[in-house]
Amino acid sequence: MRNPRTGWLLLSPTLIILIIFGFAPFLYVLFVGFNQWNVFSAEDGLIFNGLDNFRRLVFDEDFLHSVGLTLRFAIFAIGSQIVLGFLLAQMLTRNFPGKSIFRVIHTLPLMVAPIAVGAIWRLLVIPGFGPVPFFLDRWFDFDYRIGTYPDQAMLTSVIMDVWHWTPFVTLTMLAGLSAIPREPVEQAKVDGANRLQVFWYVTLPFLRPVLLTTVFIRIMDAIRTVDEVWMLAGGGPGTRFTGIYIWRVVFPRTDYGYGSSISIITLYLTIVLCWLLFIAISGKSKDEVE
Amino acid sequence: MTTSTQQRIGRFFTTYGIWIFMTVLTLLPIWWMFVVSMRTRVELFARPNLALSRLWLENYSNVLTDSTFQRYMTNSLVVSTGNALLVMVLALLATYALSRYKLAGRDNIFFWLITNRMAPPAAFLLPLFIMFTRTFRIEEITIFDVTLVQGWTLYDTQIGLILLYCVFNLPFAIWLLKGVIDGIPIELDDAAMIDGAGLLGVLRYVILPLSAPGLAVTAILSWIFAWNEYLFAANLTSVNARTITTALAEFVTVTGTNWGELAAMSMITLIPSAIIVILAQRYIVMGLTFGAVKE
Amino acid sequence: MKKLFTIVLLLAFALLANMSLVTADHHGWWAEAAAPYAGTTIRGVSESTPPSNYVADVLAPLFTEYTGINVEFETTSWDQMYSKAINDMEANTGIYDFVYIEQDIIYSYLAQDYLVNLTQAAADHPDLAFADYDEAAFTSFADYFKNADGDLFGVPMEAFVKVYLYRKDLFENADIQAAFEADYGYPLTPAETFEQYRDNAEFFTGYGEGMDMDLWGTTVQGSTGHPASTYEFLESIGPSFGLYNWGINLETGSAQSANGGALDGDTAVEALSYWVGLLPFAPPEATSSTWDEVASSFAAGRAAQGWVYGENAAWIATDETRSAITGNVGVRLPVTAPGVIEDAEMGNGYIGYYDGGAFGIPHSSRNKEATLLWLQFIGQPSVQAEWAAAGARITHTATFDDPLIAEQDTKVDGYYTLLEEQGPLFAGAPPFPFHAQVREIIDPFIHRVILGELTAAEGLSQAAAAVDEELARLGYGG
């Protein structure tokens, strides 16, 4: 009854667009990654150099450092977003007057363009015009300068990301929570489970697909983050994430060959990370079917 | 009796206490952006003061009366709306295909679709630039001595951005819709087909109504992602198709950043998306379940 | 309503004034020369700065009126400007007919043969050569857009020097002067030596603290997330200590002193230690400050003295909508170590960066002739003074004598006179075909020295080694 050919036909526009604008550039980047190519070098054009670029990046401290920073950023930011987003969503499942107003306000950061987010946070935290360092200094005598202390720069970008993306997590969690059937929760309560037990044994298993999917999406986006951190701190110490490092190698340095090979490796690492999560998600849904 | 009242009052205060606290935290940066947009450049560098001293609208009038700004705004609206519609249609078709048809390597295709969103954008700009300026180039089309097109390229066009943004919006949309469409019982399709509906009929009368919240959320989020995109827009457009986010970056110059106008423009760009989200609040939550609603 | 009317009136006057810029008999010449190109559109890319905006808003419409050639301007941010122009020229796509060439990137462009030789082009097209346009009439800044044969590749658009600015209201205050003399045993004056500069910085930082003012002793362009800090060190602080050409020896292709370079030499270490040593006397935003933020800090009155790019000097001194210290700005030559001025006068060195940019024509342009007319149009003497007044930039020798500039000059404490007389002491960037590449390599080390993770000596010796590695990779090594 269902001819696969019809299926392919329905899928084809999507495949065509993604192959042209996604896969073809990927092949180009992959190819360049195996060449030495800097526009401003003494020799013109691409020179095939095999795995040299990849060998170079294994010993490139700046690159390795940037990967470490990116992972740390992703873990801190996404971890906080999940916890915070879950708690807020939990509170939104209850009814109380004014709920929709709070919900709308809480969704606002999601609407702000990343580049504007970076600009706002820069305006908040740079001494001289930012209120944050001013009041921290005045009230707590705390020296807050993201240009001087890399850890503060890192922390600020985490907070900025939490501010920007927690609303998204809250919304998906809320959707997940509202879809949990009532009976198992009631049943567990009747059986004498306390709130923590209900959460652990009933809510969490139901929420798992949504939770993992949210984490998956956030990881993909957090690893690619460029605009907002660029605007906030320019990718200085503490915030030189892989996305920004690649940008610097490809543009000001015009080292297309090396930049391409770093991109390929970063993409590969992201895919591996996400594949593991993907297996976790689809593995779970198989259990449910059985 | 009294204890339960006390409990209720306590709960009332915790709920509102937490929400008011969260609201302040959420709004503080936006409020500060608003305050900055109401300040002159001299005032901005005086001691930081979170209070709004006066309504001073020159930053807004400067931005709004600028004809380039109006063009950028139009471009952004066209690109995001076009992209959201395209993504919605393509994703619906693709997801339906992935959900209902036994296609060889279905799971792998699905995963590959998603990986398109993972690429670090910087290195991909160069091939895209070459593609936009060279591959998609029409030197001349002349019919009966009338030159219709001359030296057209995909570079610096709205359609170029609309197509390109599919690369990161389609994976997201398909993923989101996958759960929704998987959740619609296949028996409904079959029943409609027995009643004589063709493929389009099934899509139109079964899938579309039942996946409406999911589709709405797909469209809204695609719209927002497209509206907010900067890097591709900055590099693949020149004068005609530039979007509003690229205009934000232009305020940072060697002779000083015009923070006031930057903030004013950020406030203005916030308005359309905020309106859409307020109108569509309900659907967003209904549509974001990623397949958790399976009964 | 009344305000709107005034604005309209002012605009009308401005337009009228501009109409009269070019005399009527030239009108015919432009129309005739441009006749074959009338109706075409030429496109360029530039940053959104006052001089560029003047070109886009005033000169471009005027040119269109004279010639029928349309000029389209794309404005972008500083980072974007490079990558967009380079992508276009490298891929030979022909999007831009003229590009903004920041002085420091010119030698990279020349090495890749991106640009049209303007001297040659004018000679090849005598019918397109405008009589009043004279390459020799540009200031010495134009020398930094020439190749070895002296041919010009860009029409200078804006030019500035990084000067020493100080707050006159503080330096000339009798109480402050007395307090300074009591502490240091000599009178307070704008700094002439590095020791004095440091004393001033220390004194005003203490003074600001004591008076609970938001005042520090000096600016430092020390952003740890931006190349601006490397530029301040390599182009301003370094040269004024006697470290020239970034300490890179082009002959040996090395930055290491063991190999003829000087980036890790004693002068460089002394200069960097001195500069980083100023951080405690700089406002807290110094480690986040790029060029524009240094100017903003200074304009807000947060620093008593500092190195500030010349494009900002005029607005800091005169624009009340942006600056809190108008009328109180003193302008001097930057401080130099003994012997550096002499080096510069002999042509063996320079005291700082002659900063600015020009418009050039990429080979990929498809409207070279029309663009050649346009570049001569903006390079002609009669449009220079108004443009200088609007954008605080001077590239043409005739501009200095204009009454408009003479009047401005007193308001900015003789900045234009300084530019005219001492301008030749400054120099453009070293003739490196690998400018941005090597600067990117040096950046992280300078940033780490600013953060205190490395000492100046460690940072520079690691930087010099990394530079050598990159030079070898690029094929410019020894």
Mean pLDDT over residues A183-200, rounded?
86
Q: C182-201 pLDDT, tens per residue? A: 999 999 999 999 999 999 99
Cβ-in-10-Å burial (0-12, 13-18, 19+) of A71 comes to middle
CB contact burial C172-208 (16+ within 10 A = b; e otherwise): eeeebeebbeeeeeeebebbeebebbbbbbbbbbbbb
Does B20 share its domain with B146? no
In whole angstroms, what is the distance from residue B215 CA to residue B220 CA?
A: 9
Q: A97-111 pLDDT, tens per residue? A: 888 888 888 989 998
Report phi then psi at C172, rounded to 5: -105, 10
| Residue among A47, A148, A249 with most chain C CBs within 10 A, to mutate | A148
Q: Which residue of C has its CA nearest to A45?
A: C90
Distance from CA of A248 to the nearest CA of C (A): 8
More confident residue, C478 or A52: A52
Distance from CA of C145 to the nearest CA of A (A): 18
Q: Is C69 helix (H, G, I), strand (E, B) or coil?
A: coil
In whole angstroms, what is the distance from residue C445 CA to residue C447 CA?
A: 5
Please name the member of A39, A145, A146 whose beta carbon is closest to the beta carbon of C90: A39
More confident residue, C419 or B145: C419
Q: Please provide the distance, in angstroms rounded to a whole number, between the alpha carbons at the two ends of chain B.
A: 39
- How many domains does chain B divide into? 2
Task: Provide the residue type at C306 as one letter.
Answer: G
Whether residue A128 and residue C283 make contact (CB cut-off 8 A), yes or no, is yes
Q: What per-residue confidence (pLDDT) applies to B291?
A: 58
Distance from CA of C291 to the nearest CA of B (A): 6
In whole angstroms, what is the distance from residue B157 CA to residue A174 CA?
A: 39
In whole angstroms, what is the distance from residue A68 CA to residue A74 CA?
A: 10
Whether residue A133 and residue C284 make contact (CB cut-off 8 A), yes or no, is yes
C74 touches chain B (CB under 8 A): yes
More confident residue, B53 or C55: C55
Helices (H) and strands (E) in chain A, counts: 14, 2
CB contact burial B35-73 (16+ within 10 A = b; e otherwise): bbbbbebbbbbeebeeeeeeeeeebbeebeeeeebebbb
Cα–Cα distances in Å, from A85 out to A89, A99, B100? Answer: 6, 16, 33
Nearest alpha carbon to residue B152 among B134, B128, B170: B134
Q: What per-residue confidence (pLDDT) applies to C284?
A: 94
Q: Please provide the distance, in angstroms rounded to a whole number, between the alpha carbons at the two ends of chain C.
A: 69
Q: Which residue of C has its CA nearest to B230?
A: C80
* pLDDT lower than 70: segments of chain C: 1-25
| Percent of chain B scoring above 90 in pLDDT | 44
Contacts of C227 in chain A (CB under 8 A): 252
Whether residue C78 and residue B255 make contact (CB cut-off 8 A), yes or no, is no
The answer to whether position B46 is within a domain reads: yes
Angle between helices A99-111 and B259-279 (to 10 degrees): 130
CATH code for position B263: 1.10.3720.10
User: What chains are in contact with C, requiring at least 3 Cβ pairs below 8 Å?
Assistant: A, B
Contacts of A111 in chain B (CB under 8 A): 224, 270, 273-274, 277
Does B49 share its domain with B75? no
Nearest alpha carbon to residue B247 among B260, B259, B230: B230
Report phi then psi at B89, rounded to 5: -65, -50
Whether residue A253 and residue C288 make contact (CB cut-off 8 A), yes or no, is no
Mean pLDDT over residues A190-204, rounded?
86
Q: B8-46 pLDDT, tens per residue? A: 888 778 888 888 999 999 999 999 999 999 998 888 888
Please name the member of C83, C112, C302 whose beta carbon is closest to the beta carbon of A40: C112
Does B71 share its domain with B176? yes
Does B49 share its domain with B135? no
Please name the member of B29, B100, B286 whose beta carbon is closest to the beta carbon of A121: B29
Task: Provide the residue type at B48 as one letter.
Answer: P
Does B171 share its domain with B278? yes
Interface of A with C in 176-205 (CB under 8 A): none
Contact between A98 and A185 (Cβ < 8 Å): no
In whole angstroms, what is the distance from residue A70 CA to residue A273 CA?
A: 13
Residues near C361 by Cβ (< 8 Å), separated by ≥ 6?
C97, C98, C115, C116, C118, C121, C368, C371, C372, C375
Q: What is the DSSP letter of B143?
A: E
Confidence band for B292, pLDDT divided at 50, 70 and 90: low
Whether residue B249 and residue C75 make contact (CB cut-off 8 A), yes or no, is no
Q: Which domains does chain C have, with CATH numbers?
A: 2-159+356-413 (3.40.190.10), 190-351+428-474 (3.40.190.10)
Please name the member of B242, B249, B256 whose beta carbon is closest to the beta carbon of C292: B256
Angle between helices C78-91 and B121-130 (to 10 degrees): 40
CATH code for the domain defined by A53-289: 1.10.3720.10
A96 touches chain B (CB under 8 A): yes
Q: Is C225 helix (H, G, I), strand (E, B) or coil?
A: coil
Reduced DSSP (H G I as helix, E B as strand, rest coil) percent helix, strand, coil of chain B, to 5: 70, 5, 20
Whether residue A108 and residue B287 make contact (CB cut-off 8 A), yes or no, is no
Nearest alpha carbon to residue B241 among B83, B75, B77: B75
Residue for token pair 């301008």: C423
Interface of B with C in 195-214 (CB under 8 A): none
Does B90 share its domain with B40? no
Does B251 share its domain with B170? yes
B22 touches chain C (CB under 8 A): no
Does B146 share its domain with B238? yes
Q: How many CB atoms lie within 10 A of CB A41?
A: 23
pLDDT tops 80 at residue B2: no
H-type helices in C131-279, by residue range? Answer: 168-171, 174-184, 194-210, 228-231, 238-241, 266-276
Does B139 share its domain with B267? yes
Distance from CA of C59 to the nearest CA of B (A): 18
DSSP strands (E only) in chain A? 35-36, 47-48
Residues from C contacting A (CB-CB < 8 Å) are 79, 82-83, 86, 90, 108, 111-112, 222-227, 283-290, 293, 296-297, 300, 302, 433-434, 436-437, 439-441, 444, 447-448, 451, 453, 473-476
Does B155 share its domain with B18? no
Q: Is A195 helix (H, G, I), strand (E, B) or coil?
A: helix
B133 touches chain A (CB under 8 A): no
Range of the domain at B3: 1-56
Whether residue A148 and residue C111 make contact (CB cut-off 8 A), yes or no, is no
C365 touches chain B (CB under 8 A): no
The answer to whether position B50 is within a domain reads: yes
Q: What per-residue confidence (pLDDT) applies to A186?
A: 85
Angle between helices A256-289 and A242-250 (to 10 degrees): 150
Cα–Cα distances in Å, from A68 out to A63, A75, A250? Answer: 9, 11, 20
Does B107 share its domain with B239? yes
Confidence band for B255, pLDDT divided at 50, 70 and 90: confident
Cα atoms found within 13 Å of the Cα of residue C362, Cβ hemisphere only: 28
Please report which helix (H) or strand (E) contains residue B155, including its range: none
Interface of C with B in 451-470 (CB under 8 A): none
In whole angstroms, what is the distance from residue A2 CA to residue B202 CA?
A: 13
In whole angstroms, what is the distance from residue C54 CA to residue C31 CA?
A: 22
Distance from CA of B238 to the nearest CA of C (A): 6
Q: Which residue of C has its CA nearest to B155?
A: C95
Task: Provide the residue type at C213 as one letter.
Answer: M
Q: What per-residue confidence (pLDDT) applies to C456?
A: 97
Does B167 share its domain with B283? yes
ipTM score of complex: 0.90
The answer to whether position B294 is within a domain reads: no
State pTM to two decimals: 0.91
Contact between C97 and C360 (Cβ < 8 Å): no
| Residue among A94, A111, A159, A178 with most chain B CBs within 10 A, to mutate | A111
Q: B208-226 pLDDT, tens per residue? A: 998 888 898 889 989 999 9
Q: Is A78 helix (H, G, I), strand (E, B) or coil?
A: helix
Cβ-in-10-Å burial (0-12, 13-18, 19+) of B239 comes to middle
Cβ-in-10-Å burial (0-12, 13-18, 19+) of A123 comes to buried
Distance from CA of C453 to the nearest CA of A (A): 11
Q: What per-residue confidence (pLDDT) applies to A226?
A: 86
Q: Which residue of C has its CA nearest to A122?
A: C288
In whole angstroms, what is the distance from residue B114 CA to residue B201 CA?
A: 29
Nearest alpha carbon to residue C141 among C439, C307, C379: C379
In whole angstroms, what is the distance from residue A251 CA to residue A239 CA?
A: 18
Contacts of B231 in chain A (CB under 8 A): 226-227
Q: Which residue of A has its CA nearest to B44?
A: A129
Contact between B251 and B24 (Cβ < 8 Å): no
| Residue among B253, B259, B262 with most chain C CBs within 10 A, to mutate | B253
Distance from CA of A232 to the nearest CA of C (A): 9
Q: What is the DSSP letter of C357?
A: E
Whether residue B129 and residue C91 make contact (CB cut-off 8 A), yes or no, is yes
